[in-house]
Amino acid sequence: MDNRTELSSLGEFGLIQRLNKDNKTVNASTVLSVGDDAAVLDYGDKLVLVSVDTMAEGVHFDMVYTPLRHLGYKAAVSNFSDIYAMNGRPKQITVSLSVSNRYSVEALEELYSGIRLACERYGVDLIGGDTTSSQSGMVISITVIGEGIKGKTVKRSTAKENDLLCVSGDLGAAYAGLLVLQREKAAWKANPQIQPDLDGYDYVLERHLKPEAKKQIIDFFDKNGIVPTAMIDVSDGLASEVLHICNDSNAGCEVYMEKLPIDYQTSRTLEEFKIPAETGALNGGEDYELLFTIDQKDYEKIKDNPDIHIIGYIREKNAGCKLITPQNTSMDIKAQGWNHYGNM
């Protein structure tokens, strides 16, 4: 009998590498294929960026506490984020939808209203898609097409030693919101007569249910003549994304724990669950912030932007990927965020 390798032994990114290890491109227009936030295609004056993302009921979302309009919005925005992570601009999406007959036409109209709202806010066109039946639940797959400018498209693999390691916004909020929703779902299942207690959690709930992509950061780069040396969006947790940049760039890093940007409500909510705020910031997913590296010569351009935080430095590979505590002790950065197969 052939040896069997379990999906959980590889995880999502290990599986992608395994399935594409023999992948070869034959078209000159394929500049960058598998392995980044989006593929890059060269069709003349502009670069075309393409990415696809799939969300499955019971894996990526729970219909007990996810409004359909918010789900549509989030599905679209999470795809836009992949294009921004390449320093590009999303322009069009196609939507493929598999649904069971427990969903009504009106329910799907509500889902699409969220998708269209996201498209309107980000200047993206919904240009097509596909629908099919499903034996269980709902699966949403969105392909996004974007534009990049030659010389300004950013990959994960091009960070350089001594670059500043930066992140936008704040971290861990989406994870904190998920914990609140899961807690209230458990309470409701134990007693369907009670009402959910969501007061005081507005920020973390919105960050989980209806996140935003960081278009304003890309606008800021463009206005100030900044091209990051490497970039990725924070979808699987900061620690995971830092390791992607370092591994792909053949580099190490230092991340300073006290520099991690964490909102007060996030910190307070995680404390309720007895989770250190730094742990949530490092390992919580779906923040859709941008993690990027820049040359130190660009420091003056970013230092006064309140939405950009310098959290560390890129080092040479032998230095490893280290988290530096406020006590100046060092520990290895380990990714403990979402593993699509290990968490099943």
Total domains present in the chain? 2
Q: Which of 149, 180, 199 is a domain's end point? A: 149
Residue 157 placed within a domain: no
Residue 321 placed within a domain: yes
Q: In order along the chain (344 residues), what is the average pLDDT of each group of 10 residues?
A: 58 53 54 62 81 88 94 97 96 91 91 95 90 87 92 96 98 97 93 88 97 98 98 96 97 98 98 96 95 98 98 97 96 73 40
Do 177 and 311 have their domain in common? yes
Do 44 and 12 have their domain in common? yes
Residue 287 placed within a domain: yes
Q: Which domain holds residue 145?
A: 7-149
Nearest to 235 by CA among 88, 340, 89, 123: 340
Please calculate the CA angle 248-249-254 and round it to the nearest 5 degrees: 110
Do 196 and 168 have their domain in common? yes
Residue 344 placed within a domain: no
Do 256 and 279 have their domain in common? yes
Q: Which of 149, 183, 212 is a domain's end point? A: 149
Please report the pLDDT score of residue 58 as a whole number: 85
Query: How do strand 39-42 and strand 230-233 relate by DSSP bridges?
Result: unpaired
Please report the pLDDT score of residue 20 as a whole number: 52
**Which CATH number does the domain housing residue 226 bear?**
3.90.650.10
Residue 277 placed within a domain: yes
pLDDT tens-place string over residues 10-44:
555 554 455 555 555 545 555 565 555 577 888 77
Residue 88 placed within a domain: yes
**Which CATH number does the domain housing residue 71 bear?**
3.30.1330.10
Please report the pLDDT score of residue 128 as a whole number: 84
pLDDT tens-place string over residues 203-234:
999 999 999 999 999 999 999 999 999 999 99
Encoded amino acid at 212, one letter: E
Q: Are 227 and 282 in contact (CB under 8 A)?
A: no
Do 140 and 176 have their domain in common? no
Q: Are 180 and 280 in contact (CB under 8 A)?
A: no
Q: Which of 123, 149, 175 is a domain's end point? A: 149
Do 176 and 131 have their domain in common? no
Residue 40 placed within a domain: yes
Q: Are 126 and 95 in contact (CB under 8 A)?
A: yes
pLDDT tens-place string over residues 283-316:
999 999 999 999 999 999 999 999 999 999 999 9
Residue 155 placed within a domain: no
Do 138 and 175 have their domain in common? no
Separation between Cα atoms, residue 204 and residue 111, nearest integer Å: 22
Do 191 and 45 have their domain in common? no
Do 175 and 309 have their domain in common? yes
Q: Quick one: tokens of 228?
A: 């990051």
Do 185 and 84 have their domain in common? no
Please report the pLDDT score of residue 208 as a whole number: 97
Please report the pLDDT score of residue 2 as a whole number: 59
Separation between Cα atoms, residue 281 and residue 272, nearest integer Å: 15
Separation between Cα atoms, residue 244 and residue 249, nearest integer Å: 8
Do 142 and 171 have their domain in common? no
Do 246 and 113 have their domain in common? no
Q: What are phi and psi of 233, to 5 degrees?
A: -95, 155
Sheet containing strand 138-149, strands side by side: 30-32, 39-42, 46-56, 138-149, 89-99, 125-133
